[in-house]
Chain A
């Protein structure tokens, strides 16, 4: 039987991606408060539309028609956005921050969305990464890529200290343990003079293969790129790797195992799942991602201090994951944009940001508990499912 050729309905996503890039540019450049507000509302409306059944299905179909083409295009659009913003320090800092926060949230998504382990110490693991980078880069001659890897590893190892109490408790009690750890971590930093106490530590800039990220990129006498271009680009690469990793995790027996353990521990153990093993895997992987992100963030901002890694920051991370959609790694990015960029652009929100976020999270939990972009059924491959 010969297959009947039908043109793939690839165009919705194909058009959407450049549009998103343009939106990002306009949004980052909007100055007047009313412009920002209108753009933000339009953005939320668009996200809600994408999460709706019909639009979502159309986007889904087009994504399935050419996943690798669209994946590459998304990456290129993001890279192009960074290039277009090449002289705008502030916008680039925003882009890099969003990508690094989103990387942390990918990790939290693995922990909470898949394994069901709620981590209220996300900022602490982010901070462990930052402090590791600060100490190692200042006192050793290790190549910075090794430092980034060590920051991730150390964050994972410290996380494993929490594993024992976490495995002995469930639900709210496990969450309380992570809260306790988050507070403990901050207090530990504040009283520890070796780590700079409340003042924190300076962090040397990132340098990879002799290329120092903190130098502006000089093209010729008249053109000079902001040094944030390098950080934004590097963060983009890291986030992309993280996203692919988490996607593959979900679309494999690993993701299935994590789901089984989260949904019904008893049934899972009767079918041979080592519940503890899977929780440990998810928890560690999430913390590694947070640690790496924290290291890059510390090197970018040049400075780590206890005040940046508070419980409140951890709550921000958790609310991003819930806002986007538990278990949907792709939802992390738009949700991070909303939570991180919006208060920066809308000054009048700035003071009330925590109040606003708590209100948003409560609204989401009440009316859209699956998040703005709910997770769909597992699709092991783009072609998986009914023909």
Chain B
């Protein structure tokens, strides 16, 4: 079996509100899943549960063949899950490079002696990451490597999005969670960003992606499969064409007559 992620009966509650209700979802290696649903249907809650930010009331998570139910955000990151946030969470006062290195945390040598005393070795490691950062940024836009030393806050919205995606990608995760990357972008910009993400995936064939998106064109273009949430439950799953044709989906978005 080449299942990467296997979620069974995920349930998240906030007081009396059930934000996620018995969600079953599986994802294969290298697969891209489009996750859609009306506002408040539990998509971001699912991401937050999957990255350990929310505690599960019930359900279990297997990732990469390992039992990860109730794991901490740190363990889930170490297992290979990286994400972006719906509202950009870059560290605006830090440089673009520093932001990327936050995503690259897995690969950084964190020993006290290494960092404080072995400055030569540190510099060598630093230069390697610097070169990799430039390469990755280059994929997303030719002008981005030149902004490596600028504060992230000086970048425009689109470049911030790009950097945020790069921050999630640079640690070479096995699963990338994209939370509405198109928010606040024009149609063209969104497509450009998705092409860049696909280009990165072409070089990293094992990478699986779950994409939350309202822009249906993007979903159609990139996803192998779609799942639709409503009121914290999965109401439909399948190919893009079958999902948009589904009566339950249309009802969720447009309401019943």
Residues of A whose CB lies within 8 Å of any CB of B are 245, 248-249, 252-254, 256-257, 259-260, 263-264, 266-274, 377-378, 380-381, 384-386
B39 at the interface (CB under 8 A from A): no
Give bound CA distance, A266 to B87, whole Å. Answer: 13
Q: Which of B69-120 contact A (CB under 8 A)?
A: 72-74, 77-78, 82-83, 85, 89, 91, 93-95, 98, 101-103, 105-106, 108-110, 112, 115-116, 119
- Contact A254–B85 (Cβ < 8 Å): no
Which one, B73, B93, B108, B149, contacts A253 given CB within 8 A?
B108
**B-chain residues with CB within 8 Å of residue A270 when the two chains form the complex:** 51-53, 73, 77, 82-83
Minimal beta-carbon separation of A211 from chain B (angstroms): 28
- Contact B85–A267 (Cβ < 8 Å): yes
B126 at the interface (CB under 8 A from A): yes
Minimal beta-carbon separation of B179 from chain A (angstroms): 11
B122 at the interface (CB under 8 A from A): yes
Q: In the complex where A256-B102, A377-B95 touch, is A248 in contact with B119 (Cβ < 8 A)?
A: yes
B151 at the interface (CB under 8 A from A): yes
**B-chain residues with CB within 8 Å of residue A274 when the two chains form the complex:** 74
For this complex, 7 residue pairs linking A to B, each with C-beta atoms less than 8 Å apart, are A249-B115, A252-B115, A253-B122, A267-B102, A269-B73, A270-B53, A272-B77
- Contact B116–A245 (Cβ < 8 Å): yes
- Give the total of B residues in contact with A, Cβ under 8 Å: 36
**A-chain residues with CB within 8 Å of residue B110 when the two chains form the complex:** 253-254, 257
B123 at the interface (CB under 8 A from A): yes
**A-chain residues with CB within 8 Å of residue B91 when the two chains form the complex:** 259-260, 263-264, 267
Most buried by B among A248, A252, A266, A384: A252
Q: In the complex where A263-B91, A264-B91 touch, is A377 in contact with B74 (Cβ < 8 A)?
A: no
**B-chain residues with CB within 8 Å of residue A249 when the two chains form the complex:** 115-116
Which one, B74, B109, B123, contacts A272 given CB within 8 A?
B74
Give bound CA distance, A272 to B108, whole Å. Answer: 11
Q: Which 4 A-B pairs have the closest CB atoms?
A: A272-B77, A252-B115, A269-B73, A253-B108
- Contact B149–A272 (Cβ < 8 Å): no
Which one, B93, B102, B123, contacts A271 given CB within 8 A?
B102
Minimal beta-carbon separation of A206 from chain B (angstroms): 26
Minimal beta-carbon separation of B69 from chain A (angstroms): 18
Give bound CA distance, A107 to B115, whole Å. Answer: 18
Interface flags, B143-171, vs A, CB<8A=1, else 0: 00000010100000000000000010001
Minimal beta-carbon separation of A156 from chain B (angstroms): 14
Which one, A254, A266, A267, A271, contacts B112 given CB within 8 A?
A254
Give bound CA distance, A256 to B108, whole Å. Answer: 11
- Contact B94–A378 (Cβ < 8 Å): yes
**A-chain residues with CB within 8 Å of residue B119 when the two chains form the complex:** 248
- Contact B102–A268 (Cβ < 8 Å): yes
**A-chain residues with CB within 8 Å of residue B122 when the two chains form the complex:** 252-253, 380
- Contact A254–B89 (Cβ < 8 Å): no
Give bound CA distance, A184 to B196, whole Å. Answer: 58
- Contact B94–A272 (Cβ < 8 Å): no
- Contact B108–A263 (Cβ < 8 Å): no
Q: In the complex where A264-B91, A270-B73, A272-B78 touch, is A253 in contact with B106 (Cβ < 8 A)?
A: no
**B-chain residues with CB within 8 Å of residue A245 when the two chains form the complex:** 116
- By beta carbon, the residue of chain A nearest B73 is A269
Minimal beta-carbon separation of A263 from chain B (angstroms): 4
Minimal beta-carbon separation of B35 from chain A (angstroms): 18
Minimal beta-carbon separation of B74 from chain A (angstroms): 5
Give bound CA distance, A218 to B151, whole Å. Answer: 55
- Contact A259–B74 (Cβ < 8 Å): no
- By beta carbon, the residue of chain A nearest B171 is A271
Give bound CA distance, A259 to B98, whole Å. Answer: 9
Additional A-B contacts beyond A252-B115, A259-B91 (4; CB < 8 A): A263-B93, A266-B89, A377-B98, A380-B122
- Contact B105–A272 (Cβ < 8 Å): yes
**A-chain residues with CB within 8 Å of residue B52 when the two chains form the complex:** 269-270
